Amino acid sequence: MITATEEIDVLLVEDDEDDFLITRALLSRAESIECNLEWASSYDEGLNAILSGEYDACLVDYRLGKHTGLDLLKAINDRGNHTPIILLTGQGDLEIDLTAMAAGAADYLSKEEIDAPLLERSIRYAVERAQADQRIREQAALLDKARDAIIAYDMDGSVVYWNKSAERLTGWTADEMIGEQARNYLYTDAQREKLDQCFATIEEEGEWTGELKQQTKDGDDLVVESRWTLVRDNNGEPSSVLVINTDITERKQLEMQFLRSQRMESIGRLVGGIAHDLGNLLVPILLGVKVLQQRFDDDDQVERTLSMIQKSAERGSDMVEQVLAFARGVEGERAVLNPGSIIEEVEKIIQETFPDDITVRTTVADDLDAIMGDATQIQQVLMNLSVNARDAMPDGGTLTVNAENITLSASDARRNIDADPGPYVRITVSDTGTGIPDDAIDKIFEPFFSTKPEGEGTGLGLSTAYSIVKSHNGFIDVRSEADEGTTFRIFLPVTTKSRNATADGAGDEEARGQGEVVLIVDDEDFIRETAQQTLESAGYRAIVARHGKEALELMEEYHEAIDAVITDLRMPEMNGHELIAKLHDSYPDLPIIAASGVADGQTDAALEAGARRFLPKPFTAEKLYGSLNEVLGTSTSKAK
């Protein structure tokens, strides 16, 4: 507010000196303000003086030689100057007056009607309004600097204010949104009902807080934490709604990933335990079939029956292995790989086996970086995703596989709990199929979950792919839209190694024993018995123990005769890890094979304790023979 003692600097732009003298005389009689009047006698002089920003208000004559006061008003507006302009006209001209006000003039006065009180009121009003506008601009500037999107609606839902953060967050500018219904831009049909509930609540209770799903101008999904406050006018009537939106999209994504990770971990423990028990049940079947085949090798009917039993047991064993792979992580050979070569191999398989109505397009960057991994497992991931894409396009479509180098920044990595900043190879598998339902997309990596009709899928393909990618220190995400298609993106970290780092694998070839003595340690009676029969039928000799303590007692008595030990890891009295450690300390040259189907990362612990090999359950006779052949071949002497 202007006080009675406050001085006001006023500029008069007028090319007639007599008018300047008259104006100065009028202002000298002002009662409530004290004006310091300065004179600019031309358009150019007036423009420069106004742009200096030294004046609180300007009186501008309409006629300034070849220019007009309106020209001057437009010139200062174009330069962003906010000095209040009062236009002085020689005679009342309504059209000029209206044009001046529309152009932003603070007031217009006719020289014929002007007197001291009128001029004083006009200047005082112009300066006060300019000060109020300045405060509003300063407040708006502060709001524009806020990180949150700040929006105001009138009671009909039309936008009356839209700050810079709202522009940054949504992609729509204030010019595009002021006066528009935000519901027609930010919200899908599914969210508009909730929006109506928000307005109903704000009218009844005066405030509302909650989460809203929105869309940007580019079609990206947003989740905002929204706080609504009802604003009332001087009469207490609702006039507008102030909305403050905080972008929590990234936080919600991380929360969802964390919950999924927790759920996957719980499911892994559950199915891992079940798979372990199933594996134990399948071991005697697989080993027993081998024994029976040797006894009835001249009976074709028995052979067919045993073959059927073996194939069924092997299918069950494969499923158990897939479940355990999901639960405990996937191990395998690790070597420096060219992902482009793997994609080329997958493309050949797809081109030869997929229907003709599916178009396959692959794009591999020429400078694609190398990764460290297992080629067979990476190929399995790509085949699983490609087969799922094929099944999602029963009427044909396009399958696209792209591979490129990318670098994740720290902010990029924060969007996924499994990601670290750094260079990755990103492999994208996209289809134009039916898409994944919204209520299923968060469950697709869980074992046994499938969107396919019953009998058309095990529900293990994506869970295995998830575990393989995770075991390669990568991560996988999915985006899908109904009837538009699905896109999986696989991120595999780049390696700087230049030579293969492969792991030795146990041979599956069948090997005959030469009378070697093998100690079998397992708390399951049927596993001990069938393993003993299987080994003895292959030329080995076998003794058995029910747990670690019993195994140590047998070792003390027969250590000079025992050539190798096969031990389970989960047993009463003394578990396999303790047994392996004690045997390794006492008999460092004794070959030990650890066998288990437990899904809790037992492999490394068993090998660190002293085991030479890890044999996952359920195992076939051939894998058992192969593991024994390997450790006995590397054994230098018997236990001593």
Mean confidence (pLDDT) of the chain:
81
Q: By percentage, how much of the chain surpasses pLDDT 70?
A: 82
pLDDT of res. 112:
76
* Fold of domain 7-142: Rossmann fold (3.40.50)
Higher pLDDT residue, 636 or 543?
543
| From 4-8, 103-107, 119-123, 362-366, the region with the lowest mean pLDDT | 4-8
For residue 570, give the 3-state DSSP assignment: coil
Nearest CA to 575 among 501, 611, 522, 499?
A: 522
| From 353-362, 533-542, 610-619, the region with the lowest mean pLDDT | 610-619
pLDDT of res. 267:
59
Rounded CA gap, 518 and 280, in Å? 20
- Whether residue 60 is predicted with pLDDT greater than 80 in this model: the reply is yes
pLDDT of res. 573:
84
pLDDT, mean of residues 228-244: 85
Higher pLDDT residue, 511 or 450?
450
The pLDDT confidence band at residue 486, using thresholds 50, 70 and 90, is very high
- Whether residue 343 is predicted with pLDDT greater than 90 in this model: the reply is yes
SS (H, E, C) 528-540: HHHHHHHHHHCCC
Nearest CA to 229 among 153, 166, 163?
A: 153
Same fold, 7-142 and 517-634: yes
- Whether residue 328 is predicted with pLDDT greater than 70 in this model: the reply is no
Q: Tell me: domain 146-247, CATH 3.30.450.20, correct?
A: yes
pLDDT of res. 46:
87
The pLDDT confidence band at residue 491, using thresholds 50, 70 and 90, is very high
Q: What residues does each domain of the chain span?
A: 7-142, 146-247, 252-324, 335-493, 517-634
The pLDDT confidence band at residue 284, using thresholds 50, 70 and 90, is confident
Higher pLDDT residue, 320 or 519?
519
- Whether residue 639 is predicted with pLDDT greater than 50 in this model: the reply is no
**Interval 309-319: pLDDT, tens:** 877 777 677 66
Question: Is 114 in contact with 143 (CB distance < 8 Å)?
Answer: no
Please state which of the four CATH numbers 3.30.565.10, 3.40.980.20, 3.30.465.10, 3.40.1160.10 is assigned to the domain occupying 335-493. Answer: 3.30.565.10
Rounded CA gap, 440 and 427, in Å? 23
Residues ≥6 apart with Cβ < 8 Å to 209? 225, 226, 227, 228
Rounded CA gap, 19 and 15, in Å? 8
CATH architecture of 517-634: 3-Layer(aba) Sandwich (3.40)
The pLDDT confidence band at residue 382, using thresholds 50, 70 and 90, is very high
pLDDT, mean of residues 624-628: 88
